Structure 1
Amino acid sequence: MANTPHEPQAAPVFSSATRGEIVTIFIGPEKKRYNIHKDIICHHSEYFRTSFNGRWKESDEGVTLEDVEVPVFNVFVHWLYAQEIPSDWESILRLAEASEFVSLQNSSSYGYACVLVLKCVIFGDRFLTPVFHRLAHNTFVNDHFIEKGMEICSSVTYTAVIWAFDNLPTDSPILVMMVDLQGTAWDEWHDNEAEKRRRSRLPHEFLVAVMLKQTKIRSEEEKMACAANGKYCHS
């Protein structure tokens, strides 16, 4: 991932920023138009500071990002003004305007929301928005843990696993977390019929990592059992 830039020390005063200049950003192949207060977006993103300070010719007519997905940018714009990402997936899908998934109360809806947040993690890194990047990362991680005591809560939906192993760097801590959760928190009853159908699409490297993780866990359990019985176990 890109190096994280230094974060600005003082946030803009909204009453002043909203009286200032409006900049235009066009998102996705359909070039959906967004009008955003310049002082706010430039404060939080080094990328957009560079875009709108006159160095780019297109900054006078707006910046176009055809390879950015509209739902991801919707989450980003919500964060720009609210400085939060909801912790529940239904709210995330609603503010992302992912209407086809909002009404679904199943693993497809949850899996899409997980991937959406992971895409926000990448967006924050790519567009040099460290606070948004960190919050999106923490939103994904925290959903899989019980806050009190940080006890393991659940394994990760296969939709997110498949996307993450195809798109995140191989050294990403999120990939490590997915393997750890699958090796420690998963049980067969976790998988409904839709998840069972996705098993054949799971990445080879994920399955091998889970296998090695479970072997390590079993070895450690055997050592603990031997120690409890006063016996010596071969490593």
Structure 2
Amino acid sequence: MPPSGSRHKGTSHLSYVYSPIVTVCVGIERKRFCVHKELICTKSTFFDKALNGSFMEAKSLTVRLEHVSVPLFSIFVSWAYDGRLVYVLPSEGNTTAAEDFFPLLCQTPASLEVDEDDASTWPLDIIAKLYILGDYLDSQQFKNNVISAIDGPFTWNRGLNDADVPTNALIKFVYEKTPSKSPLRDLMVDLMVYGQTWGQPTETWEDLPPEFMAKVMGFLGRRLPWKQCSGCYSRAIARNNLSDANADGMHLTDDRASFADSECFYHEHETKEEREECRQEE
């Protein structure tokens, strides 16, 4: 006979195996996921309220999530059981993780290579949407694990690449689906501030949420001295691939305002010749 008190030693976290099985029907196709009630209620306040309250789900032990993505929810279930962010490929299909993730992307990428067992290889869109799912399911631990899986914040020294920077479509999606104080919004700002190059036309940013651009502007201004030395300025110009064609009137050789060259800078003239004549008269 085992010593008294040793019965549950090291296995108390598995007590959920004795709890009833709950059926979660996900997506418009109503994909069925069967999970232990105690486990999913422990991991999600949403399920805890739905399955332990006065709602019909508490009696039927069935929850419908028609607007939730099947691949994303499968990742949540795998995490609930295993504690890791992995994507288990459906046994009845013959698709790859990349093919299953592709419809969830806000913008078509040039290429898509993912490892279903390594969340750091997943597109930023997938990570962001997993976080939003965690918000909906009210699972703080899941959201924290998702944020920790993003490769970008831990690779400042190597320099962020294009895959680390959110697309305009993803930024707008995040701002539509999250509350104003969401840490995911803050992450979008930081990835843009520290990873984006600025050689694109100014029209590129016109459709982004004003509150997002206000934060980006503030961060960019605060992280630099009011005036850079010539060496730093030259490196910034090179980093952003700026030239006369796309600099929007910025000086390309030193950090000074364009109007410092000429009183005529903000004048309106009908022709280039007229402007040149005005400048010569100064």
Q: State the TM bucket, normalised to the shorter chain.
A: 0.5 to 0.7
Deviations 1:131-186, CA, capped at 9 Å, x for gaps? 1121112223xx11336x87763452214323222222233333233333323332
Q: Which AA in structure 1 matches 2:130?
A: C
Number of residues of Structure 1 aligned to a counterpart in Structure 2: 199
Alignment of 1:220-235 (within 5 A): 220=226, 222=228
1:209 aligns with 2:215: yes
Whether the 8 Å CA contact 2:25–2:32 is kept in 1: the answer is yes
> Offset at 1:112?
8.2
> CA offset at residue 48 of structure 1?
1.6
Structure 2 residue identity aligned to 1:117: I
> Which AA in structure 1 matches 2:134?
G
- Range moving further from structure 2, 172-181 or 214-223: 214-223
Partner in structure 2 of residue 84 of structure 1: 84
In structure 2, how many angstroms separate the alpha carbons of the residues matched to 1:96 and 1:39?
A: 33
Instruction: Give 5+ residue unaligned stretches, structure 1.
Output: 1-9, 88-92, 192-196, 226-235
**d(CA) in 1 for partners of 2:104 and 2:178?**
23
Query: 1:43 maps to what in 2?
Result: 42
Matching residue of 2:153: 145
Q: What are the within-5 Å matches in structure 2 for residues 123-162 of structure 1? A: 123-140=133-150, 143-146=151-154, 153-154=160-161, 155-158=164-167, 159-162=169-172
TM-score (norm 1): 0.64
Matching of residues 27-176 of structure 1 within 5 Å: 27-53=26-52, 55-61=54-60, 62-86=62-86, 94=97, 97-98=100-101, 106-107=109-110, 109=112, 113-140=123-150, 143-146=151-154, 153-154=160-161, 155-158=164-167, 159-176=169-186
Sequence identity (%)? 25
What is the TM-score of this pair, normalised by structure 2?
0.55
Residues 78, 86 of structure 2: 8 Å contact kept: no
Query: How far is the alpha carbon of 1:50 from its aligned partner?
Result: 2.7
Q: Which residue of 2 aligns with 1:229?
A: none
How much does 1:73 deviate? 0.9
- 1:177 is aligned to 187
Q: What amino acid maps onto 1:63 in structure 2?
A: V
Amino acid at match of 2:58: S
User: Structure 1 162/109 Cα, relative in aligned 2: closer, same or farther at 3 Å?
Assistant: farther
Unaligned runs of 5+ in 2: 1-9, 88-95, 114-120, 232-282
Letter in 1 for 2:48: R
Q: In the TM superposition, what is the alpha-carbon distance from 1:19 to its structure 2 partner?
A: 4.6
> Is the 1:74–1:97 Cα contact (8 Å) retained in structure 2?
no
Higher RCO structure, 1 or 2 (CA under 8 Å, sep 6+): 1
- Specify the structure having the higher radius of gyration (Cα): 2
Contact 2:104–2:125 (Cα < 8 Å) also in 1: no
Distance in 1 (CA, whole Å) between partners of 2:17 and 2:179 is 38
Residue 76 (structure 1) shift: 0.5
Matched position secondary structure for 1:23: strand
Contact persistence 1:145–1:151 (CA under 8 A) = no
Deviation at 1:220, TM superposition (A): 4.7
> RMSD across aligned C-alpha pairs, in angstroms?
4.0
CA distance in 1, matches of 2:165, 2:211: 16
Cα pair 2:134 2:143 within 8 Å, conserved? yes
SS at match of 1:187: coil
Q: Distance in 1 between matches of 2:34 and 2:68?
A: 16
1:166-216 C-alpha deviation (Å, 9 max, x unpaired): 222233333233333323332258x9xxxxx97665444434433343333
If each structure's helix is expressed as a fraction of its own residues, which one has the higher value?
A: 1
| 1:94 to partner: Cα distance | 2.6
Q: In the alignment, residue 124 of structure 1 is paired with which amino acid?
A: G
Are the structure 2 counterparts of residues 220 and 135 from structure 1 closer, same or farther at C-alpha, using a change threshold of 3 Å?
farther
